[in-house]
Structure 1
């Protein structure tokens, strides 16, 4: 199918960190520009993300009033600022990412009559979030839902959650699973190597459960293993203190935010992601791409990527004993790591490539634009 050239504006809330939503926008932008489409990224503030956009040659604009925290006066300025930028760009379609950008971006785009999408990289009203916050965010998403021509969820779990909370009617919500670009053969892992190195890539924030992982693996101190944490965030010092309190400072390394994630995964033997809630984490897909077995919390859409007992293990939220038992099996049995790593790589190749995600995303863009053209006919 021939795809017409599209002018796309991406809107994302913050630039002071680089998370899954940022990488999603960055990778799509690079690919779209390479295909001859026009792309501009509108991001709140400046920081590591806007630096990455500069490094990749992606057109972007920093917004002064688009911020994560809720402040009515600032948010009104944010809508007006977005409206000015979009009015100057007049893109064919606006694609918003993250909750605040989703709310303000949809309002600004609709006020200009522009088609607009919202991609939910995990709902703020998902299981694991405090009940009071869940009620607030669900209410806010129901208010904003009608302003989106389409809502994209990165997992079917999140699509069903949106329908259960009546965020939008079924025809308006579509699932497009995350996908990640492939890596060279040299960046495939060797899961059989000893002693096994475990790696967890995640920001140190309440969403992630670094503490639970440490509590679990502290009970395996008599075995040979290493653990790497990649990421930064407000809870970093608290986790470091826990490591010292458990006497694991010689076994656990903190590498901070890294740009060589693929290389770190290639040198690992097990990938771990312990969380309180998730959408569909890109880091899990990157680990499967590398050929690593995955141990992850059974939250959100994680079970749509990790096949229990086949590509890794799923652990119920908060169950430290079950987590310890799964880690024990993988640390002790190199052949199990090899088998699960191969199965994970095959699953990545079949379901989670970047090309598949790109084509499904472009199909949604074209569908929205075609519907708009149809409505504008006399």
Structure 2
């Protein structure tokens, strides 16, 4: 990982010279982890493979498991982007101007907040990662439409879809998780209900709801065991330990061997307040696991409406229905089949973005 000298750390710095590559792509991510960051990493890798001089600019934060090629300049800014003030946005904008070498430089920003980092122009691509796809509120919709006039193009990224906002309508493409597991031919089903959590343990993900569901199932004698895999925010550790006391729960922290947990006979749970790209849910369904998830548009696109719950009672009722190995197998296969049908019906999004980047390389424009 490289640190920027000079102006990008508050001093002065000259503009980076364009290398022998004919085009420069600066991928800007407002997050350092999660689905948005994974998509930015994927696009940086693709741009590098196509021959761009590629920069990936993202904030300091949690470790990003998806690494980029060594030829990609991975830049971390000492700047929070969760609560971006006007003053901070002007500072970030000034920092990123150092990457702009003129007509040969394109910016691809992931997340609307990252727009504050770059002056919109015709060499700007924006991917909007919305918990509700394209925004429904009229004022936000209008703001997005105005942005669409100032960048080329504006994309809305949801589970399964990247859609250019244009007068000609939408283009549906399928976006796979970067960690999508191999198809599992068989699963060793056994008696007993086991729940699994594979995600960050943070307020956004509502791990406290997962613990309350475990507590109720355990008190009813329904729960056999549970496992939680994922990094925990330090501020939550004492509260999580208190709530988990006495439960048959293993909290394993961050692991790189997630596929082994997706291969077990478990019910996958995800109770987030909001999700842009529910990668973890997508991986669970693609693995053939039955799931219980919060009622969010992205989750609904992946699993339909039957296995969604936003409170303890609703989640417990769904868990009770999944007590037998036969039911878990049937539901897991049903959800996987639904997912595979959706995947077959959509163009793979890497081809769409590769198309976009290739036109920039050849024509210097996206149209």
TM superposition score normalised by structure 1: 0.73
Who is 2:351 aligned against? 359
Distance 1:307 1:135, change over 3 A: closer
Q: Matched residues in 2 for 1:370 and 1:172: separation?
A: 25
Q: What is the CA-CA distance between 1:38 and the residue it aligns to?
A: 5.1
Q: Matched residues in 2 for 1:157 and 1:183: separation?
A: 16
1:155–1:177 contact (8 Å) kept in structure 2:
no
Distance 1:83 1:123, change over 3 A: farther
Matched residue SS, 2:243: helix
Show structure 1 runs of 5+ residues with no match: 128-133, 163-167
Q: Which has the higher helix share?
A: 1
1:97 to 110, 114, 117: 110
Who is 1:241 aligned against? 242
Q: What is the CA-CA distance between 1:28 and the residue it aligns to?
A: 3.8
Who is 1:165 aligned against? none
Structure 1, residues 320-360: CA drift from partner, whole Å, max 9, x if none?
21111101111x12112112222333344343489812123
1:303 to 286, 300, 304: 300
Distance 1:308 1:141, change over 3 A: closer
Who is 2:333 aligned against? 342
Q: What is the CA-CA distance between 1:47 and the residue it aligns to?
A: 5.6
1:199 to 196, 202, 207: 196
Who is 2:10 aligned against? none
1:114 to 123, 132, 136: 123
Q: Residue 78 in 1 paired to residue 92 in 2?
A: yes
Distance 1:30 1:374, change over 3 A: closer
1:53–1:60 contact (8 Å) kept in structure 2:
no
Distance 1:38 1:288, change over 3 A: farther
2:285–2:332 contact (8 Å) kept in structure 1:
yes
Q: Residue 153 in 1 paired to residue 167 in 2?
A: no
Q: Residue 24 in 1 paired to residue 39 in 2?
A: yes
1:183 to 181, 184, 189: 181
Q: Matched residues in 2 for 1:205 and 1:170: separation?
A: 39
Q: Matched residues in 2 for 1:19 and 1:235: separation?
A: 18
| Aligned pairs for 1:225-264 within 5 A | 225-231=224-230, 232-233=232-233, 234-244=235-245, 247-248=246-247, 251-264=248-261
Structure 1, residues 119-174: CA drift from partner, whole Å, max 9, x if none?
315369979xxxxxx999778757755433233223389999x9xxxxx7665876
1:267 to 252, 256, 264: 264
Q: Residue 323 in 1 paired to residue 315 in 2?
A: yes
Q: What is the CA-CA distance between 1:274 and the residue it aligns to?
A: 0.9
Structure 1, residues 203-242: CA drift from partner, whole Å, max 9, x if none?
2333222222222232211024222222322434433322
Q: Matched residues in 2 for 1:334 and 1:374: separation?
A: 51
| Aligned pairs for 1:215-230 within 5 A | 215-221=212-218, 222-230=221-229
Matched residue SS, 1:85: coil
1:53–1:59 contact (8 Å) kept in structure 2:
no
Show structure 2 runs of 5+ residues with no match: 1-21
Matched residue SS, 1:295: strand
RMSD: 4.0
Q: Matched residues in 1 for 2:98 and 2:356: separation?
A: 26
Q: What is the CA-CA distance between 1:200 and the residue it aligns to?
A: 1.8
- For these two proteins, the number of residue pairs brought into alignment is 339
Q: Residue 11 in 1 paired to residue 47 in 2?
A: no
Distance 1:28 1:63, change over 3 A: closer
